[in-house]
């Protein structure tokens, strides 16, 4: 059997593939695929998630390519199908989708030693973390989760981030669905919406925009009644092998908020 040659064009997927023991099978990654650093350092970069260098990738002759509905462009996935035998499309939209993701990757690479056992371990770890969240009762709060500024941008209710936050009673605003794909999943704000005055908490993510302490005053002016805090965007938005740690981090944030 021919060993797989994997191109991962999604940071969360790259990290998860390494956790499954497939690091040696990676032949390409994006410049945003930075974790774990020691495992991906020697893997060739083929551009970003939105601007993949297809000519360079073709020369690397991958047998599998991992893409994501939110992270990659549809035209990229279509172009990959012209020269990659198997294109694996990922789209976790809720925390529990991680279980399907682990099975999706396990099934694709079940022939590789240890993959099935590692996938089972990741599933068990995630399920335990989810049970810890759901084993507590959380009072509801209206939350604005900001991922960008100029313009301010946030997340729709059907994104992974929003559904994750809802596990601890943090309900994101605006109250809208963004659909399966497209810009509506990450709406821009005018900054004068009336509902902003009813927000209880503003969470400033560390990615994709790197919010810092210097931005808290701006966010406070946007939502005068809210508490503003910085949060780790990788732990709250990266799915896959980081998802269990993300749930535990979220639970800790919420517990401190109630203290």
Check residue 205 and give its pLDDT: 98
Among 26, 29, 35, which residue's Cα sits nearest to residue 52?
29
Say yes or no: 248 and 171 in one domain.
Answer: yes
Among 118, 145, 153, which residue's Cα sits nearest to residue 204?
145
Q: Is residue 106 part of a domain?
A: no
Say yes or no: 54 and 147 in one domain.
Answer: no
Are 118 and 21 in contact, with CB atoms under 8 Å apart? yes
State pTM to two decimals: 0.94
Last residue of a domain, one of 91, 106, 121: 91
Structure tokens at 182: 């497209």
What is the tens place of the pLDDT at every residue in 195-254? 999 999 999 999 999 999 999 999 999 999 999 999 999 999 999 999 999 999 999 999
Check residue 259 and give its pLDDT: 63
Report CA-CA distances (Å) from 23 to 2, 40, 55: 16, 7, 23
Place of tokens 């601007």: 51
Q: Is residue 35 part of a domain?
A: yes
Q: Is residue 31 part of a domain?
A: yes
Say yes or no: 47 and 148 in one domain.
Answer: no
pLDDT greater than 70 at residue 50: yes
Q: Is residue 125 part of a domain?
A: no
Say yes or no: 253 and 156 in one domain.
Answer: yes
What is the tens place of the pLDDT at every residue in 94-150? 999 999 999 999 999 999 999 999 999 999 999 999 999 999 999 999 999 999 999
Place of tokens 């099978």: 25
Say yes or no: 75 and 173 in one domain.
Answer: no
Q: Is residue 122 part of a domain?
A: no
Q: Is residue 103 part of a domain?
A: no
**How many folded domains does the chain comprise?**
2
Using DSSP, state whether 178 is helix, strand or coil.
coil
For residue 77, give the CATH number of its domain. 3.40.50.1980
């Amino acid at each position: 059997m021919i060993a797989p040659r994997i191109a991962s064009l999604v940071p969360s997927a790259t990290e998860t593939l390494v956790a499954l023991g497939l690091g040696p099978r990676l032949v390409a990654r994006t410049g945003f695929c930075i974790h774990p650093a020691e495992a991906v350092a020697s893997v060739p970069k083929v551009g970003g998630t939105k601007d993949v260098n297809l000519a360079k990738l073709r020369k690397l002759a991958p047998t599998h390519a991992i893409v994501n509905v939110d992270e990659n462009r549809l035209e990229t996935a279509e172009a990959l199908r012209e020269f990659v035998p198997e294109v694996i499309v990922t789209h976790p939209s809720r925390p529990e989708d991680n279980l399907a993701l682990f099975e999706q990757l396990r099934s694709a690479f079940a022939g590789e030693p240890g993959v099935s056992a590692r996938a089972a371990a990741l599933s068990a770890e995630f399920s335990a973390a989810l049970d810890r969240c759901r084993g507590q009762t959380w009072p509801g709060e209206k939350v604005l989760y900001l991922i960008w500024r100029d313009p301010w941008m946030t997340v729709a209710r059907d994104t992974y981030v929003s559904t994750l936050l809802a596990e601890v009673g943090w309900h994101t605003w605006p109250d809208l669905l963004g659909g399966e794909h497209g810009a509506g999943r990450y709406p821009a704000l005018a900054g004068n919406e009336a509902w902003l005055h009813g927000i209880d908490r503003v969470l400033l993510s560390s990615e994709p925009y790197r919010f810092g302490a210097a931005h808290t005053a701006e966010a406070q002016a946007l939502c005068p009644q809210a508490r503003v805090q910085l949060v780790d965007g990788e732990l709250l938005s990266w799915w896959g092998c980081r998802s269990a740690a993300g749930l535990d981090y979220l639970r800790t944030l919420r517990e401190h908020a109630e203290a």
